[in-house]
């Protein structure tokens, strides 16, 4: 990884983001972390059905990326997408209700953790299929071009998705047509248990951009300002008609792939190394926050999550009589 490059982008970003914006970003990162920790608790209590994919440790990527986009832009999210969803401005209570399978949830309890969407807010949904969102992003890009609007679409996926055929087809197509697509790869180092070093013979996933004739950058995904800067630049390029960008954000998930993961493929030391680079601690440090202020902000996030849980728990279950709804329009 080119540290000098990361350092440069961070310097540039500092000029772009005000202290107030950075404080807001820190809060959103804390909200994401508390949301997911609470989700884990609820799962342990048997209140959440199925499985979940937690992004604890990856919050800077989600917050930096969404922060560089506008409300008119589109998001196509991954299965590990709670962070991006919250960063996009989704309500924690409606997300939590979806998580608990309630009628009041974003998807009326039909989608759950892996399919949270809010189409009205241009959040076109999380996707349970690795690389499933990439081909769709091509269509959104075409649609933007046909409607001649100043929008972009950001599709988020993991390192594992970059080994799917859909990755190749989609980036190639977006490239030949110069579509306003931002391909955001969250390289959290593992595709379930498969480490990136064993799944590809290159050092940087962003090197793959060259094969499609598009811009590719690798940034420190735990540095919210670096991510912001990269996505901001990609958006500028897309709006200017200069086509798509592949951004690789190097980050790490502290938790297992999903609830069934015993994490036999990595060491505690490795996890600890990454925890030392924790994105929330880093930003708080950068902002010279006192422990008291930081704890206070976490408390605020906790309170918001508690309210979300209260809302979700008080919400009704879907009515079985409505089970057939939504298959066809």
**Least Cβ distance, residue 157 to another protein (angstroms):** 13
Burial (Cβ within 10 Å: 0-12, 13-18, ≥19) of residue 193: middle
Q: State which of residues 138, 209, 230, 308 lies at the interface with another protein (CB under 8 A).
A: 138
The residue among 267 and 328 lying less far from another protein, judged by its C-beta, is: 328
Q: How far apart are CA 31 and CA 36, in angstroms?
A: 9
Q: State which of residues 92, 96, 144, 230 lies at the interface with another protein (CB under 8 A).
A: 144
Is 178 a binding residue for another protein by CB under 8 A? The answer is no
Cβ(93)–Cβ(118) under 8 Å? no
Kindly report the number of other CB atoms within 10 A of residue 256's CB atom: 18
Is 320 a binding residue for another protein by CB under 8 A? The answer is no
**Least Cβ distance, residue 305 to another protein (angstroms):** 22
**Three-state SS at 295:** helix
Burial (Cβ within 10 Å: 0-12, 13-18, ≥19) of residue 319: exposed
Residue 116: both structure tokens together: 């949270």
User: In the block, which residue shows the tokens 């951009």?
Assistant: 209
Q: Using the rule CB under 8 A, give the single segment among 63-71, 166-174, 252-260, 303-311 that binds another protein.
A: 166-174
Is 119 a binding residue for another protein by CB under 8 A? The answer is yes
Q: Using the rule CB under 8 A, give the single segment among 143-151, 187-195, 213-221, 303-311 that binds another protein.
A: 143-151
**Least Cβ distance, residue 74 to another protein (angstroms):** 7
Is 327 a binding residue for another protein by CB under 8 A? The answer is yes
Q: State which of residues 92, 124, 152, 284 lies at the interface with another protein (CB under 8 A).
A: 124
Q: What are phi and psi of 187, to 5 degrees?
A: -85, 95
Is 51 a binding residue for another protein by CB under 8 A? The answer is no
Q: State which of residues 12, 40, 142, 289 lies at the interface with another protein (CB under 8 A).
A: 142
The residue among 69 and 280 lying less far from another protein, judged by its C-beta, is: 69
**Three-state SS at 12:** helix
Q: How far apart are CA 131 and CA 124, in angstroms?
A: 14
Q: State which of residues 1, 2, 7, 129 lies at the interface with another protein (CB under 8 A).
A: 129
Q: State which of residues 21, 51, 91, 143 lies at the interface with another protein (CB under 8 A).
A: 143
Q: DSSP strand E in the chain: where?
A: 74-76, 153-158, 181-187, 190-191, 194-195, 215-220, 245-250
**Least Cβ distance, residue 85 to another protein (angstroms):** 13
Is 195 a binding residue for another protein by CB under 8 A? The answer is no
Residue 144: both structure tokens together: 């933007």
User: In the block, which residue shows the tokens 């997408």?
Assistant: 81
Is 121 a binding residue for another protein by CB under 8 A? The answer is no
Is 191 a binding residue for another protein by CB under 8 A? The answer is no
Write out the DSSP string of 181-202: EEEEEEE-SEETTEEHHHH-SS
Cβ(106)–Cβ(121) under 8 Å? no
Is 2 a binding residue for another protein by CB under 8 A? The answer is no
The DSSP letter of residue 161 is G
Q: How far apart are CA 155 and CA 254, in angstroms?
A: 23
Q: State which of residues 115, 259, 266, 286 lies at the interface with another protein (CB under 8 A).
A: 115
Binding mask 91-110 for another protein (x = CB under 8 A): --------------xxxxxx
Q: How far apart are CA 285 and CA 283, in angstroms?
A: 5
Is 135 a binding residue for another protein by CB under 8 A? The answer is yes
Q: State which of residues 21, 172, 178, 193 lies at the interface with another protein (CB under 8 A).
A: 172
Binding site for another protein (CB under 8 A): 74, 76, 105-111, 115, 117, 119-120, 124-125, 127-129, 132, 134-147, 153, 165-166, 169-170, 172-173, 176, 325-329
């Amino acid at each position: 990884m080119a540290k000098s490059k990361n350092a440069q982008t961070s310097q540039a970003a500092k000029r772009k983001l005000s202290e107030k914006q950075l404080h807001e970003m820190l809060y959103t990162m804390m909200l994401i972390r508390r949301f997911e920790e609470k989700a884990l608790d609820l799962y342990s209590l048997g209140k959440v059905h199925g499985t979940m994919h937690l992004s604890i440790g990856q919050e800077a990527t989600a917050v930096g990326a969404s922060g560089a986009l506008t409300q008119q832009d589109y998001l196509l999210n991954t299965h590990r997408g709670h962070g991006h969803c919250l960063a996009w401005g989704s309500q924690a209570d409606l997300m939590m209700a979806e998580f608990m399978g309630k009628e009041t949830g974003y998807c009326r309890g039909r989608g759950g953790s892996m399919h949270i969407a809010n189409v009205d807010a241009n959040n076109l949904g999380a996707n349970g299929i690795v690389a499933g969102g990439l081909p769709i992003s091509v269509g959104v890009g075409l649609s933007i071009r046909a409607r001649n609007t100043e929008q972009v679409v950001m599709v988020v996926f993991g390192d594992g998705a970059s080994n799917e055929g859909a990755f190749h087809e989609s980036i190639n197509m977006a490239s030949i047509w110069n579509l306003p697509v931002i391909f955001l790869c969250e390289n959290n180092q593992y595709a379930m248990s498969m480490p990136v070093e064993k799944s590809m013979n290159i050092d940087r996933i962003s090197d793959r951009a060259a094969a499609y004739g598009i811009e590719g950058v690798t940034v420190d995904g735990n540095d919210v300002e670096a991510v912001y800067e990269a996505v901001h630049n990609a958006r500028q390029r897309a709006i200017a008609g200069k086509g798509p960008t592949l951004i690789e954000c190097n980050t790490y998930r502290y938790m297992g792939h999903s609830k069934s993961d015993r994490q036999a493929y990595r060491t505690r030391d490795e996890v600890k190394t990454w925890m030392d680079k924790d994105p929330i601690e880093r930003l708080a440090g950068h902002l010279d926050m006192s422990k008291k202020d930081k704890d206070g902000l976490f408390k605020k996030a906790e309170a918001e999550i508690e309210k979300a849980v209260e809302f979700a728990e008080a919400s009704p279950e879907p009515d079985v009589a409505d089970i057939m709804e939504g298959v066809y329009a």
